[in-house]
Each structure stands twice: as structure tokens, then as C-alpha cells.
Structure 1
Amino acid sequence: MAFRTDLAVEALENMEKAADEQQVRQTDRDLEGFSVREVDILSEHAARDIGKPRGRYLTLELAALMRREEDAFPRACRALGTLLAELLPETAAQRPILVTGLGNRMITPDAIGPQAIDHVIATRHLVEHEPDIFSSWRAVSAIAPGVLGQTGVETGEVVQGVLDRIKPAAVLAVDALAAGRLSRLLRTVQLADTGITPGAGVGNARSALNEETLGIPVIAIGVPTVVDGATLAHEISAQLGEPQCEALEDLSRPVMITTRDIDREVADISRMIGYAINMALHPHLTVSDIDLYLS
């Protein structure tokens, strides 16, 4: 079976042969004490081999945040904010931005997007109506469009309708992803300039949100919250020499696996993402400032 993951770093790790350095570039760095791996897929041929669209992927490892190390939260916010600012196109400088939180708030592993939106400071109305006070702020709109089963409207249709009205320079789309390995659940944030396909992480892919479909740049912010049971069974079986094991065969049925502390971990990382978005779009803000504005 195919190794299923939404993470570019895992897709590369699972390739049978090493990626051509002329077609895929990988670099590592440290930011605010967190490790960052950048994967640049440079050709359509490499994109087909890896199974990810051509573009730039930044993966921030957040184990220290989930261990609640001292000062980990503000450092993680600054690190993610810095990476987001790198991916925002130069043409979007100081222009309006739409932040959309994808997913179902009622299903915890799928609630990353809607919960992150709760921590984003919406400023479009303030910039328009109080320009003397908010002239130094960027106009930001934030929506959580829900899912088709709740609204009867495709996410892409909701987003397109908002775009037609507010005409932002770019979209930041926050969503839950699927990882291939348990060790990366809620310990990793992947940023990509390739857009995102809502529902893909749980095998219910909808229309893609990307520059091709929306007509403006779409920056995806994704956090793996589940592992596909069949992928996990395949990995365990392969590492054990492919034994015949009924328990592993049971995992091959459609099932998603997540962590025991999913409620707390989703709440923690969603807050961090919301704060990082604020800091990327309004560089003058600190964590204390955001606490004040959101209180």
C-alpha cells in the first residue's frame, strides 16, 4: 500500500531512491531554538515522484513547545511568524489578508483551523472605520467556513465569495493534516506556498484552495493530528519483517489514530498558530500585546 502523509519531509523520507538534488533542494536551520527544514520541489517531475505540488515547504519542529519548556510559547510564535512572513509574497506587503480556519470545530482532531481563528485579531473593520488610530495596521479578515456537512456549502465556495467582496492580496489557510508517523503528531507545523486541499488529511478531499483556483497566493499552515491506521500498520509490519499479524490487519481498515491528550494539544498549538499569524501580519505586536487585544 502507499505510505500516506501530508508532510513533504515524510514523503521524501519514504522515497525508495534519493531525490535528485537538481530537482529537490533541502536545507536545515535553527530558529528561536526550534529546528526548521525547508524542502523546495523545483520541477514537475519531482512533484510527481514525491506526490506533492511544486513549491516551497517549511517544517517547524515543536517538541519543546508541547513539553511546555520555559519561554517555548513566545519563541514558537516568533519562529512561526518569521516563517510565515518569508512565504508572504512581496506584492502582499501591507495589503489586506484573509485568514481562513478550515475544518470541523466539533471534531477535535479537525478543529485546528477554527480554533486558530479564535486567536487571530481581525482588523479590517477597524482600519476602514478608524484610520487615524489603526493606520499602521494591516487589514485582516478571519473566517471559519465550517465543512460541507455542516453548511451545505463547499469551503471553496465560501472562501471565493468572501474574496469577491474584500479582495485580499493573499489567503492564509489553517488546517489539520495526516502524518505517516506518530512521533510527528502535533509536534510539527508545515507551511507551504502551494495552497491546500480541505479534508485531504482524513481522506475526504474537497476542492483545492490554491493560486490556480482562487487567483491569489494561498499560504497553507498545517498541523498533523492523525495517522492513517493502514499506513501505521504497513510501517510496523515492514519494520518487523512483514509478519502475518491479525492485529495489524485490523488497522488496515479505514481508521484514524490520534493522541490521548488531543484536546489540550490542539488548543495549545491552535493558540500558537493564531498568535504567530498576528505577529507575521503585524510585526510590532508581542505576545503580551496580543493577550491584551484578545482579552
Structure 2
Amino acid sequence: MEHKIRTDLALEVRESFPEDDVEIKGVVLTEEFAQEKKIRITTVAIKDEHGAKLMQKPVGTYITIEAPDLDKDSEDYCKPVSDLIAKYLKKLAGDLKNEEILVVGLGNREVTPDALGPQVIDNLFVTRHLIREYGEEFKKKNRLGSVSAISPGVMAQTGMETVEIIKGVIKETNPKLIIAIDALAARSISRLNTTVQIADTGICPGSGVGNDRKALNEESLGVKVIAIGVPTVVDASTIVADTLTKYMESTGFGEEDIFKFISEVNGTQMYNMFVTPKNIDEAVKRISYTISEALNSCFSQPAVS
């Protein structure tokens, strides 16, 4: 039985094609490398519906920042990553970065691997209430953007779809841009807590773990949505498949036999199991701060007295 490997990263979907070095029609891949910090930036641009169908992702731009040492406690390393997130966020936001921004922290703060979004909101410098209180002159003098934020929780806590809650907030506050933060699922163990994906296509909460909710995107909300995500879990069957594949290849098994055996092993027993690193508490705390610092520098830059 064939088992579908789950991933939210467009880069990993692109890597899954056998023709890894061959151009895929409708999909453009570019790479940059920050040698000093060993950070790789990959942009996957899905240009048309043909590319979207092959990639099974919406047309748009997906920027992946791979920072291998992000899971280590190093302020000197996190700062450049934060700066890169801000740089590419500004690029995708365009002129909207100067408008009213709503930051949405998706996920369940009671479940550590899913608490990234709420923890980003905890560290965010929100300013909308200050501007409404003290006016535009205060905003310009202190170089503040208008930022509001919400952690809507999950359906099991609220009984409501996240999109329903956000629609209500949009109706009352009228933001021009939404930044949605969420934890993702990866295909590769090495990308857990070390990779940041920024996309201008919105996001489907819970999609990486097979718990799809209604999408948060411009089509559903009427407002442009930029998603920032970090993979915190990996499908357990991926770990089994990778380990068995390496072993069976080294002992002379053919590709067809390996595929058949792994498909039978994974089956339904592994289908709903996900794995997260043992240092997930520290990692989510550190990465959420890194992302919130990027958002703060991007949309709010208080004047130094």
C-alpha cells in the first residue's frame, strides 16, 4: 500500500520529483547562500496552474530559509535569521507593510509543537491601540506601524473555524494585510526547528498533520495573507521509511522490493503518528522570539530616545 509522505514545505515537494535537476514547467527554483552563517535561501515560485497541479500547492512564492544552527541557543545566529525573515517578509508584503497589519498566531498553546503561533504573539509589539489613542502624529514621530494580533486557538477549544473568527476581526478592524504564523510538518528530520518558510499564498491550518481546516487566504478573507511557518514535527512513517531504505539499499535489495516492503510496514499503524525533537520546548521558545523580532523590526521601529 502506498503511503503519502506529508510535508508543508514547497521546497520538499520540489525535491520529491525524480527529475530533481530538470526544470518543471510552471515552477521556478532559485537559491542563495549566506556562507558566513551557513544559511541557504531557496525560492520556489509556482507560476501557473500547471505548476500548481504538479506541486499540489497554490500559485505563488514560497521562500525557505534553512538555518542548521537555529536549534542552538545562539543570539549571534538567531539575529541574522531574524533579519532575513524581515527582509523577505517586506519583499512579499510590498507597499502593504505600511498599512494596518493583523498578525494571527495559529495553533494550540497547550501542545508545545503546535504553540509556535501563540508564542510569537506573546512576544509581539502591538501598536494599533496606541495609534488609536495618540493619533497619526504619535505614529510618525515614533516610526510605528499599525499592528494588531490575535491567537484564535483551535476548533476543539472554541467550537469555531479559525477562518470564522478572523473574518469577524477583519470586519471590525479592517486590516490590509494578514501575517499568519503556524507550526508545520516536514519531510526531513534535519529541517525540524531549523527551517522557516514564508509564502504569499496563505495557509491551511493543520494540513501537515492531516487535520485540514478551512484555508486562510485572500480568496477566503478578502485580504492578502502571508504565512510564516516552521516545521516542528515529522511523520513517524518518514523516519521508518528512511531508516529501512538505507539499510535495505546497503544489503542489496532492489528499489521495487524496498518500496513494497516499506509500504506494507507503514500501513495504517503509522499513519497518524508524528514525532517532535526532545528539546521542542526550548526550540519553540527561541524560534518564536526570532520570528517576533523579525515582525517587530519589519512593521514597528520605535525611535530611540
3-state SS of 2:70 partner: helix
Q: CA deviation at 1:93?
A: 4.0
3-state SS of 2:109 partner: coil
Question: Are 1:214 and 2:221 matched, yes or no?
Answer: yes
Deviations 1:94-129 (A, max 9, x none): 210000000000000100100111111110010111
Q: CA deviation at 1:285?
A: 5.6
TM-score by length of 2: 0.87
Give the distance between the partners of 1:151 and 1:55, measured in 2 at CA: 31
Give the distance between the partners of 2:268 and 2:103, measured in 1 at CA: 39
Match of 2:199 among 192, 197, 217: 192
Moved more, 2-11 or 68-77: 68-77
- Look up the match of 1:271: 289
Q: CA RMSD in A?
A: 2.2
Give the distance between the partners of 2:97 and 2:120, measured in 1 at CA: 22
Q: Is the 8 A contact 1:123 1:140 kept in 2?
A: yes
- Look up the match of 1:73: 78
Match of 2:238 among 228, 231, 234: 231
Q: Is the 8 A contact 1:15 1:50 kept in 2?
A: no
Deviations 1:224-248 (A, max 9, x none): 0111122333333444342857976
Kindly tell me: are residues 70 and 102 of structure 1, through their superposed partners in 2, closer, same or farther at Cα, counting changes over 3 Å? closer
Kindly tell me: are residues 39 and 212 of structure 1, through their superposed partners in 2, closer, same or farther at Cα, counting changes over 3 Å? same
Deviations 1:5-39 (A, max 9, x none): 11011101111334635511111113583221111
Q: CA deviation at 1:216?
A: 1.2
Name the aligned partner's letter for residue 24 of structure 1.
Answer: V
Question: Are 1:175 and 2:182 matched, yes or no?
Answer: yes
Give the number of equivalent residue pairs: 285
- Look up the match of 2:254: none
Q: Percent of aligned pairs with the same residue?
A: 41
Give the distance between the partners of 2:118 and 2:203, measured in 1 at CA: 15
TM-score by length of 1: 0.90
Name the aligned partner's letter for residue 217 of structure 2.
Answer: N
Q: Is the 8 A contact 1:180 1:232 kept in 2?
A: no
In structure 1, stretches of 5+ residues that fail to align are 290-295
Q: 1:88-237, aligned counterparts within 5 Å?
A: 88-90=93-95, 92-131=96-135, 132-135=137-140, 136-237=143-244
3-state SS of 2:40 partner: strand
Give the distance between the partners of 1:248 and 1:40, measured in 2 at CA: 32
Give the distance between the partners of 1:83 and 1:204, measured in 2 at CA: 28
In structure 2, stretches of 5+ residues that fail to align are 250-257
Q: Is the 8 A contact 2:146 2:299 kept in 1?
A: no
- Look up the match of 2:11: 9
- Look up the match of 1:26: 29
Give the distance between the partners of 1:30 and 1:116, measured in 2 at CA: 26
Give the distance between the partners of 2:298 and 2:269, measured in 1 at CA: 40
Name the aligned partner's letter for residue 103 of structure 1.
Answer: G
Larger Rg: 2
Give the distance between the partners of 1:197 and 1:250, measured in 2 at CA: 24
